[in-house]
C-alpha cells in the first residue's frame, strides 16, 4: 500500500539507540512490534486491569485485551489514512506496558509515594520498560526500539522529566506534536476504552441501560438497534450498540482528519512534528459527545462504591508494600534487592525508591495481592 507523504517511513526514521543490522524479512517497525509481543511486560498485561480487578470476572477487559482492541482500531484508521500500519500497531501494543497493578488507583498511589523521588508517570514508565527494564538481548538493555515507536509510547511527560530525555523529550518543551501514528494511537485508545467501559459497566451491573438514555453517543444507536431488532436479547443488543459507537467514532475521526490533512498538507513527518496543532481529530460534535460519555462513566462507573472499595484496597496494598520495602530492602526477592542496591549506590535514596517503584509497577493485580499477603500476614497463602 502506498503511504501518504506525511506517514512515518523507514528511510525517514530517526533510528534505534544502538545500531543493529537491518531485519531481513520484516520492516523495522514490524521488528519493534515483535519485540513488544515477546516481552515479559506484554505478557503481564493479561493480569492487569483498568477498572475491574483481574479476578472479578473472566469476561472483563484486561490491559492485554484492551491493547489488542486499541491496535485493531488504530490499524483500521491507519490504513484508511495511508499512515504506517506497522508502526501504529507497535505503539498500540506497547502503550500500556508501564501501568501499575489496579489501574489508575494504583498509578496514583505509587505516584504519591514517589513524590520525593521524582514521581511516577505511567507513560514514562512504559518508556522505561522498553528502554531499560526488559532484559532479553545480549547487546543492550531494553528492547532497543525505533525512535518513532518510543515517541508514540511517550504520550505525556512532565516538563522536568522531558528535560532529561533529550531528543525524545524535546517536543514537550517546544509544545509540538508527535508523528501522526502516535497521535492516532492516542485517539484509538480513547475510542476503545470509552466503548468497552460501557460494555463492561453494563455487564457488571454497575451501570444500567436506563441510565444511558441521555447519553447521545449511546442513545442514538440504541434506538436504532431496538427498531431494527426488537426481539434481540439484551446482551446482543448491547454488542450491536457498542459496535456502532466504535464505528461512529472511527468514521468521524477519519473524515475530520482527512479534511484537516488536506488543509494543512504537511510535506513529511518532520512538518507534522513542527506543528503545534494536532492534525488528527474528531469533529466538534463528536468531541462533545465523547466528553459527555466520559463524564457519565466517571460519575457512574469509576466512582461507583464497589469500584471505589477496590481502589481503596489497591491504595493500601501499594502504599504499604512501598513503605515496607523502603524501610527494609531485605524483604525484596534477591534479584530485585540486587538491582535496588545497584541503583541506590548510583543515585542514593531516589535510586532505591525508583527500583522499588519498578518492582511494584511490574506486578500484576494478583501478584500484588499475594505479595501483600506474603509480606504482612502471619501465614503465607498456599
**C-alpha grid cell for residue 58?**
473472566
Alpha helix segments (H runs only) across the chain: 28-37, 40-44, 63-80, 85-94, 103-113, 122-128, 147-153, 159-163, 170-174, 180-204, 216-228, 234-264, 269-274, 284-297, 305-327, 334-347, 349-362, 365-376
Return the number of the residue (96 or 371) whose C-beta is nearest Mg ion: 96
User: Residue 343: CB partners within 8 Å, gap ≥ 6?
Assistant: 351, 352, 354, 355
- 200 contacts Mg ion (rule: CB under 5 A): no
- 189 contacts Mg ion (rule: CB under 5 A): yes
Return the number of the residue (96 or 197) whose C-beta is nearest Mg ion: 96
Smallest distance, Mg ion to C-beta of residue 50, A: 7
Segment lying near Mg ion (by CB under 5 A), choices 94-102, 106-114, 124-132, 353-361: 94-102
Cα gap 161→316, rounded to integer Å: 27
Smallest distance, Mg ion to C-beta of residue 70, A: 6
- 96 contacts Mg ion (rule: CB under 5 A): yes
Smallest distance, Mg ion to C-beta of residue 185, A: 9
DSSP 198-245: HHHHHHHTSS-GGGGGG-HHHHHHHHHHHHH-TT--HHHHHHHHHHHH
Smallest distance, Mg ion to C-beta of residue 280, A: 17
Segment lying near Mg ion (by CB under 5 A), choices 96-104, 114-122, 147-155, 285-293: 96-104
SS3 379: coil
Contact letters (x/-) for Mg ion, 316-335, by CB under 5 A? --------------------
**Shortest-Cβ-distance residue relative to Mg ion:** 189
Segment lying near Mg ion (by CB under 5 A), choices 95-103, 119-127, 199-207, 324-332: 95-103
Q: What are phi and psi of 308, to 5 degrees?
A: -65, -40
Smallest distance, Mg ion to C-beta of residue 188, A: 9
Binding site for Mg ion (CB under 5 A): 96, 189
Amino acid at each position: 500500500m502506498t503511504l501518504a507523504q506525511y506517514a512515518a517511513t523507514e528511510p525517514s526514521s530517526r533510528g534505534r539507540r544502538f545500531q543493529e543490522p537491518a531485519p531481513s524479512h520484516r520492516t523495522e517497525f514490524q521488528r519493534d512490534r515483535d519485540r513488544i509481543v515477546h516481552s515479559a511486560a506484554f505478557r503481564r498485561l493479561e493480569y492487569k486491569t483498568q477498572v475491574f480487578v483481574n479476578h472479578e470476572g473472566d469476561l472483563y477487559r484486561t490491559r492485554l485485551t484492551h491493547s489488542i482492541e486499541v491496535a485493531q482500531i488504530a490499524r483500521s484508521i491507519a490504513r484508511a489514512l495511508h499512515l504506517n500500519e506497522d508502526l501504529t500497531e507497535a505503539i498500540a501494543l506497547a502503550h500500556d506496558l508501564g501501568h501499575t497493578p489496579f489501574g489508575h488507583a494504583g498509578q496514583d498511589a505509587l505516584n504519591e509515594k514517589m513524590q520525593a523521588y521524582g514521581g511516577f508517570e505511567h507513560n514514562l514508565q512504559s518508556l522505561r520498560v522498553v528502554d531499560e527494564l526488559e532484559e532479553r538481548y545480549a547487546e543492550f538493555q531494553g528492547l532497543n526500539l525505533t525512535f518513532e515507536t518510543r515517541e508514540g509510547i511517550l504520550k505525556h511527560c512532565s516538563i522536568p522529566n522531558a528535560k532529561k530525555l533529550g531528543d525524545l523529550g524535546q517536543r514537550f518543551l517546544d509544545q509540538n506534536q508527535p508523528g501522526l501514528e502516535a497521535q492516532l494511537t492516542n485517539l484509538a485508545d480513547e475510542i476503545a476504552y470509552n466503548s468497552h467501559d460501557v460494555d463492561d459497566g453494563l455487564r457488571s451491573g454497575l451501570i444500567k441501560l436506563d441510565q444511558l438514555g441521555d447519553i447521545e453517543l449511546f442513545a442514538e444507536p440504541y434506538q436504532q438497534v431496538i427498531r431494527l431488532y426488537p426481539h434481540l436479547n439484551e446482551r446482543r443488543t448491547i454488542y450491536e450498540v457498542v459496535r456502532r459507537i466504535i464505528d461512529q467514532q472511527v468514521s468521524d475521526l477519519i473524515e475530520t482528519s482527512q479534511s484537516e490533512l488536506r488543509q494543512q498538507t504537511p510535506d513529511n513527518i518532520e512538518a507534522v512534528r513542527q506543528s503545534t496543532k494536532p492534525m488528527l481529530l474528531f469533529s466538534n460534535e463528536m468531541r462533545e459527545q465523547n466528553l459527555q460519555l466520559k463524564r457519565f462513566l466517571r460519575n457512574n462507573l469509576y466512582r461507583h462504591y464497589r469500584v471505589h472499595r477496590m481502589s481503596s484496597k489497591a491504595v493500601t496494598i501499594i502504599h504499604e508494600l512501598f513503605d515496607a520495602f523502603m524501610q527494609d530492602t531485605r524483604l525484596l526477592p534477591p534479584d530485585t534487592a540486587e538491582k535496588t542496591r545497584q541503583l541506590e549506590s548510583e543515585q542514593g535514596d531516589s535510586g532505591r525508591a525508583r527500583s522499588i517503584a519498578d518492582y511494584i509497577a511490574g506486578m500484576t493485580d494478583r501478584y500484588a495481592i499475594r505479595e501483600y499477603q506474603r509480606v504482612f500476614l502471619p501465614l503465607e497463602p498456599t
